[in-house]
Structure formats: structure tokens, C-alpha cells
Amino acid sequence: MALSTYLSGTKDHIDLETGERTSKSRPIMCESDFEGQGGFKHLRHGQQPEGVPYIHDMPTLNPFWAAGFSFGRGHFVVNIPYDQHLPWIFQGEEISIGLRGFSYGYDYYSPEKAACYHYYGRKDIPMFWENNDIYRGSGVYGMNRLNEIIHMVSPSINGETKDWIRTDELKYGIGKVRDLQRFFDTFGINVEKQKVEKHLCRFVGRPMQKEFIPFLRTNEMGLDYDKITYRFVDKQANNK
């Protein structure tokens, strides 16, 4: 398992002088959708909901991995190292790590209490995209690789698949513990139509905990998805 979530901002959450928390809320990871166009279309986690946890004495199970806060045993980064061949990829990295981790048998949890915070909205600091014009177009190969490895729809033009970087494909590839289609089916992700079932956050939390935790393996090696038959469907699709 890995503890992983986005970080709350410092404003309204922590006293910067004393270091004491002023809020008991923390985010959970449950909001994701496809964004971008053409070859850059990918699954991206959006702004996550925050709230006071209803589950106590254990972390909250959620489907997605977050780059902002991630703690686990060292074998996680050994088995799922950061892919060194994704040039100019900023958005999309999280679903890549998350799905690769899922395929190796890892589950993700949000901690019950926030352990650290982030300064959002800082000004006059270097940004990832400030050199975008210098490396224009290089991200296409990286996004093609990212989508191909995690079994998303491969970007194409007129039915012809674009080129993608195949270096170290196995090293940064998919594990053999779980099939990615099981993840897509469980959490309402249609990779062919590039659409998701909305309102997944209504399931993540106590409902998901109640539904999935009974299928924890007795050897402490994560959830046994072979026994999980649940499939998320947005019951409020016509009542947004």
C-alpha cells in the first residue's frame, strides 16, 4: 500500500507561526477525467474534495495515486520507478504511476490526518512550462508513450498510430498481479470512448471502504480484486 493524496493549502489549515493545525479536513483522491485534445488527451486528476474524515483509526481507501504526497515501503519505487522517458510530461504522470502500481498489486489510501501542507499561489518562482517554446513538440512522444504503456487509447491520426518512445518499455511497464482493464471496469473508466462515470467521489470513502476492505488478502498483500465484482456506475447521471 501507499499513503497518497494531494496536499491542503496552508491558508485556513495551519497556523504558520505555531505550526498547529487549524482544520481537521484533508483531501481524498477520487476526481479524475479525460482532458486535452488529440495526442495530448489523457486522464488527469482534478481538484480533489476536502473534508473531515468519517473513517477513523485507519486511512481511507481510494483509487488514485497522487504525486503531491506519497509514502510507502521502498519496494514501491523499486517496482514502479519514475519513467525517465516521458519528455515534457507534467499532467498525466500521476495516472501512469497509479495504474502501474495497481498492476503490481499496490493499493492507495488517504491518511486520516494531514501531515504537511503546501504554499499554493506563489509568485515569481520558476515554472515547469516557462521553457515550453524551447522544447515545443517534444511532449508528443512522451504522451504517446505514457498512454500506450498504461493501455489507454493510443493517439493516432487517420487511424495511423503515432510514434512513441519504446526505450526501457519493460522496466517502466505494467506488472502481472492485476490487469488494468479490471481497474477501468471497477471505477467506471471507458478508455475507448475516453469518458468516465461521474460522481465517483460519492462512492469513495465509507461506501468503498465497506465494499472493498473485506477482500484484503490474509497475507497482507493488498486487495484481492479477483474477488471484487463491484462496478461503479453513476446513478445520478441524469440528476447532476
Identity of the amino acid at 85: H
Strand partners, 71: 3
- Burial class (CB within 10 angstroms; exposed 0-12, middle 13-18, buried 19+) of 28: buried
Q: Specify the pLDDT at position 199.
A: 96
- Residues 155-164 as b/e (b if ≥16 CB within 10 A, e otherwise) read beeeeeebeb
Q: Specify the pLDDT at position 141.
A: 81
Q: Specify the pLDDT at position 90.
A: 78
76 phi/psi in degrees, rounded to 5:
-60, -50
Collapsed DSSP state (helix, strand, coil) of residue 153 = coil
Q: Specify the pLDDT at position 233.
A: 96
- Grid cell for residue 2: 501507499
pLDDT tens for each residue of the chain, 240 residues long:
999 999 999 989 999 899 899 999 999 999 999 988 766 788 989 889 999 998 998 999 999 999 999 999 999 999 999 999 988 787 778 999 999 999 999 999 999 998 898 888 778 887 777 777 777 777 778 888 888 899 987 555 556 666 778 899 999 999 999 999 999 999 999 998 999 999 999 999 999 999 999 999 999 899 999 999 999 999 887 655
Cα 190 to chain centroid, rounded: 16
What is the Cα–Cα distance from 15 to 231, expressed in whole angstroms? 42
- In total, the chain counts a number of residues equal to 240
Output the CA angle 22-44-165, nearest 5 degrees.
135
Of 89, 70, 93, 63, give the one whose Cα is nearest residue 196. 63
